[in-house]
Amino acid sequence: MTPELGNFALALACCLAAGQAVLPMVGAQRRDPRLMALAPALAIGQLLALLYSFACLVHSAIQDDFSVQNVAANSSVAKPLLYKITGVWGNHEGSVLLWALILGLCGGAVALFGRDLPSALRARVIAVLGGVSAGFQLFCLTTSNPFDRVWPAPMDGQGMNPLLQDPGLAFHPPILYTGYVGFAVPFAFAVAALIEGRVDASWGRWVRPWAVAAWCFLTCGIALGSWWSYYVLGWGGYWFWDPVENASLIPWLTGTALVHSAIVVEKREALKIWTVLLAIGTFSFSLSGTFLVRSGILNSVHAFANDPARGIFILGLLGLVIGGSLLLFAIRAPSLTAGGVFAPVSREGLLVLNNILLCSICAVVLTGTMYPPFMSLLFGKTISVGKPFFDATAAPMAIPLMVFMGLGPMMPWKRAQLWPVLRRLWWSGALTMLAFALMAWRVRDLLPLLAATCAVWVIAGSIADIAERIRLFRIPVGASWQRARMLPRAALGAALAHAGVGVSVLGLAAMSQAQHRIVEVHVGQTEMLAGDAWTLTDVRAAPGPNYTALIATIEVRHDGRLVTVLHPAKRTFASQNQTTTEVAIHTNLMSDLYGVLGDRHENGGETTYVLRLHYNPLAPWMWLGGLIMALGGVLSLSDRRMRVGAPRRAATAGLVATS
């Protein structure tokens, strides 16, 4: 019964979403307050129906209801409870429902937190979100219904791919999807603004918090995904330039550009048309990312759905959303009043530069990702581009980006002089030079060296920004502290996010100096790597809940002192006839010791084991940096000026003009 209720709730949500798409829009056109007032009610109703529907699916999974096809195909009695719950979104149907649920949450959030928006704008924003929701829910209901029944019901499910049974992956999709879907809100704002034909400073102020929030989730999602592939796949790598990974990186790049260009709209009422286009583009890339993943047109290890009917539906939906919004943009954008043009040396000038560089990197990544499938589609040639391509293209453009990142926050608005800014940054420049000299001693490769130097520059630049704002060491420390407490959180958040980029890049640069060895050893043998002695002391078999494991014990000693004991393992899942590798990682935040147990060989009575040993300097910094970036975003979201309700108090004049 529960699955039928869930199915009904999903259908109900779809109907509510369709109503939400049409009625408030008509209301806003006719200036009918009753129809416009329907928008939040419908959005909340849709959200409740979706929550109920999702709860029904989770319930079926926990109860092991194998008459539900989706549960039978992806779960089994022996699966631990956590993975029964998280397994709900570990497959195509469930993940589409999760996607729809998060979109519903976005609509609900605009309904709840957007009370201070002008009613027509709010009605239109919610209506656009409703339209996208209705499309996705229809997709879920017609081509990938998670509540489909199977008859006769099997006694036990087929179980889940053991590779996916991991806490990191369990929570990765919801966070990543929130990032993807979150950009639906700036998209809806952009479309609403195009329909209204008006974009002004307050529009920038309203759209920015939503963009920042989505950006935080996307940043976290990408970092978590990269961390997952680092410790689960056991190749010692963290980013494979896989099409699916690129599909998340592309909206992140344009989203980062959007977060910055919205500032220019808010402060200077310039770059308005460009910002609208970025908002549309970012969500379009998010949608295409889903499309690429779901339809499997890009061959990738992540592709688990390969069904043409779904592909065509999604392609139609994509064409409607992206094509429709771009058409609207083409028709309405010329009627938007163009903003001011400004001096190249100024804060807004550097923000434009940031946008140009980010979008160029995005174009390069997009080309590298789309070129192989198009070549195979048009010319039947099977080619691929990998890490060398992206290293040769994206990295050289990221370096100027970071150079200007250090300058940007110190640059005054409107018209600036380069020299005073550089003078205030003298000590961070000196620090960067010192770091360069120290690193040039050790690091021979040019690109990692430059990247690490730029990372130091970015971190020093953001510290200098804050130090300058609180006039550190120029006024008494107590007074500086007072200023620090009064500092707008948005400024602190921006500095933190920039520092996070620096931390990540330092980690990436250091990882290029990582060392690894693949050795075949017998129990008791010692191997050296990066000054540490790794000794295999024991290998034993141990049973697990739905697998059997072979667990090795490796003692790592540095100058005779025991550093750590690692337990890498190999698990064999009998039900799927699969093995997974359990990596053992010891971290002290400055470096990771990473051990993998490989094959077991019997030759001439002696048993040997293949081990893969890695020494990864600064590896945790890559993800730590992502976390710091997201924290910076959250901090600036907590700024009162960023809150949607705040304009009433902060800038009454601007608001009166628009509402």
What residues does 163 pair with on adjacent strands? none
Contacts of 332 by beta carbon, 8 Å cutoff, 6+ apart:
194, 195, 197
Indicate the residue among 421 and 495 with the shorter CB distance to other proteins. Answer: 421
Alpha helices in 610-650 (DSSP H): 619-637, 647-650
Q: How far is the CB of 399 from other proteins (least distance, A)?
A: 11
Q: Tokens 């996916």 belong to which residue?
A: 164
Give least dist CB 415 to other proteins, A.
9
Which residue's CB is nearer to other proteins, number 553 or number 578? 578
Other CB atoms within 10 A of residue 41 CB: 15
Query: What is the arrangement of strands in the sheet containing 584-587, beginning at the earlier edge strand?
Result: 515-521, 606-617, 591-603, 584-587
Which helix H or strand E contains 527, and what residues bound it?
Answer: strand 526-529
Cβ proximity to other proteins: between 386 and 544 the closer is 386
Q: Of 351, 38, 326, give the one whose Cα is nearest residue 190.
A: 326
- Nearest residue to 204 via CA among 115, 120, 267: 267
Shortest Å, Cβ 395 to other proteins = 9
- By C-beta, is 167 or 386 nearer to other proteins? 386
Cβ-proximal residues to 50 (8 Å cutoff; 6+ apart), any chain? 9, 10, 13, 100, 101, 104, 137
Q: 579 or 659: whose CB is closer to other proteins? A: 579
Q: Cβ 256 to other proteins, closest distance in Å?
A: 15
Whole-number Å distance between alpha carbons of 411 and 224: 33
For the residues of 265-299, what is the DSSP string, one character each? HHHHS-SHHHHHHHHHHHHHHHHHHHHHHHH--S-
Instruction: Pick between residue 306 and residue 337 the one whose CB is nearest to other proteins.
Output: 306
Q: Which two tokens stand for residue 455?
A: 């990372």
Binding site for other proteins (CB under 8 A): 161, 299, 301, 303-304, 306, 341-344, 349, 352-353, 356-357, 359-361, 363-364, 367-368, 371, 381-386, 388-389, 392-393, 396-397, 517-521, 527, 576, 578-581, 596, 598-599, 601, 610, 612
Closest separation in Å from C-beta 529 to other proteins: 11
- Find the shortest distance in angstroms from Cβ 341 to other proteins: 4
Cα 440 from Cα 398, distance rounded (Å): 20
Q: Residue 384 is encoded by which pair of tokens?
A: 């691929």
Distance in Å, CB of 274 to other proteins, minimum: 10
Minimum gap (Å) between residue 371 Cβ and other proteins? 8
CA 68/CA 142 separation, integer angstroms: 16
Q: Which CB, 334 or 478, lies closer to other proteins? A: 334
